[in-house]
Amino acid sequence: MSPSPLSRRSWSALVAVAAVGALLTGCTSDPDPGVASGPTAELAGGEAAACRPGQVPKAISAAAVSKADTSGITLKLVTHDSFAVSDGIFDQFTKDTGIKVKLLSSGDAGTLVSQSILTAGKPVADVLFGIDTTFLCRGTRAGLFTPYAPAALKHVPNAYEQDGDHLVTPIDVGDVCLNYSKAAFPKPGAAPASLNDLTKKAYANDFVTENPETSSPGFAFLLATIAKYGEDGWQDYWKQLRSNGVKVVAGWEEAYEGSFGAGSGDRSIVTSYATSPVADVVYSDPARTVPAIGVVADACFRQVEFAGVLRGTEHPQAAAKLLDYLLSPRFQEDIPLNMFVEPVNDQAHVPAVFQANRTVVAHPLILSPAEIEAGRDGWTAKWTEIVLR
């Protein structure tokens, strides 16, 4: 999934300070992924085949990984520019394996995948982190990855494994949702509770969202409407949104920090994340324990984010060890207050402030990677025709 680079940079800037005193609570209690219905939860054979490369490379075996002497190797981990981790997060990994990790940034998630495809088989890095549900089919079909199945996958819900060949490994999961200002809707029942509500006169000129052609959360919201209303209904829904005064801006920062004003702007509803209330509390000044941001849990699109060993790396066993580490509790527990998404390993603990203020999305809206890849260009072109012209 790749949340907006602007959003992660904005929320992660102070996270090192905020995380120092964070107390860990129980193991992560992600919403039951089994409740998600549709092709993403269980890909049909034809859809899985549509995302498979012409030839699946031979998998890296656990036995070869355990026997490999990886001392002195430096791996390059290429990520999107929203990647954020604590200083020193790879120190223990280096101590345990002898492997040093060098980070490379490659723009947003779409740019990351597109540039990696250009060098498929002769990669500039060894491991890629940050391909999400919306670009997964494009990356796997292009032959970017070599299969490897970390042992810790036994602690990851099956619904998050959207590639049956283990070309990629799920690392985190997040939900793009409608957020609203609690101050703007102080009376019980006044706040929006569904996608349908945004078309009502009571919410005229209240909603701001991002352009799906220039923004990851904006595209996710478009996908949410397609998943909700289907091919026969989503276009009419957007016509109603336009008639009701929806405002469209280029990116998350302009929407959330600008028009929405982090809850105090001239627009009281915005497309953002299920974890917005967590960030709202973490960065509150003066400090408070109750978020000023509410989440419409009935209008969320789920994105899983993956990492994989790049096909053609000179260090496949070392790269596999890095995948093991990315799925380990140590790394997984570093994710919530750095990238404001959920760890996928159910053995990972999450900070108390994250646990207390996260929004559990029990019934996320989903589309399969194959559906997204097949429909992307047509959907965004039609959306532009309906909303912007």
- Do 206 and 90 belong to one domain? no
Same domain as 255, residue 357: no
d(CA 294, CA 274) in angstroms, rounded, equals: 9
Same domain, 230 and 294: yes
Beta bridge partners of 128: 78, 308
| 85 close to 334: Cβ distance less than 8 angstroms | yes
DSSP string, 264-320: TSS--EEEEETTHHHHHHHT-SS--SS-SEEEEEEEEEEEEEEEEEETT-S-HHHHH
Residue 289 domain boundaries: 175-301+370-387
Average pLDDT over residues 37-65: 77
Task: Quote the distance between the C-alpha of residue 349 and its chain's center.
Answer: 19
Asked if 368 contacts 41 with a C-beta cutoff of 8 angstroms, the reply is no
Region 140-154 average pLDDT: 98
Give dist(CA 266, CA 208) in Å, integer: 10
For 3-35, the pLDDT digits (tens) are 443 344 445 443 333 333 333 344 554 554 543
pLDDT tens column, 182-223: 999 999 999 999 999 999 999 999 999 999 999 999 999 999
Bond preceding residue 286 cis, omega within 30 of 0: yes
Claim to verify: residue 193 and residue 323 sit in the same structural domain: no
Let me know whether 77 and 143 are in one domain: yes
Same domain, 280 and 307: no
Residues 91 and 236 in one domain: no
Task: Indicate if 232 and 381 belong to the same structural domain.
Answer: yes
CA 71 to CA 22: how far, in whole Å?
A: 34
What residues are paired with 48 via a beta bridge? Answer: none
Per cent of the chain over pLDDT 70 is 88
Shared domain for 92 and 80, answered yes or no, is yes
Quick one: 308 and 297 in the same domain?
A: no
Residue of 68, 58, 47, 77 whose CA lies nearest to 147: 58
How many domains does the chain divide into? 2
| CA dihedral (65, 307, 138, 237) positive or negative | positive
pTM of this structure = 0.87
| Shared-domain flag, residues 75 and 220 | no
Q: pLDDT, tens digit, for every residue of 238-291?
A: 999 999 999 999 999 999 999 999 999 999 999 999 999 999 999 999 999 999
Report the CATH number that the domain containing residue 136 is assigned in CATH: 3.40.190.10
Number of H helices, E strands in the chain: 16, 12
Residue 225 contacts by C-beta under 8 Å, 6 or more apart in sequence?
Answer: 195, 234, 237, 238
The answer to whether 180 touches 267, Cβ cutoff 8 Å, is no
Q: Are residues 136 and 165 in the same domain?
A: yes
Q: Minimum mean pLDDT among 17-31, 40-54, 328-342: which range?
A: 17-31
CB 211 within 8 A of CB 249: yes
Task: For residue 369, give the nearest of 109, 120, 151 by alpha carbon.
Answer: 109
Predicted confidence band at 389 (pLDDT cuts at 50, 70, 90)? confident
pLDDT at 278: 97
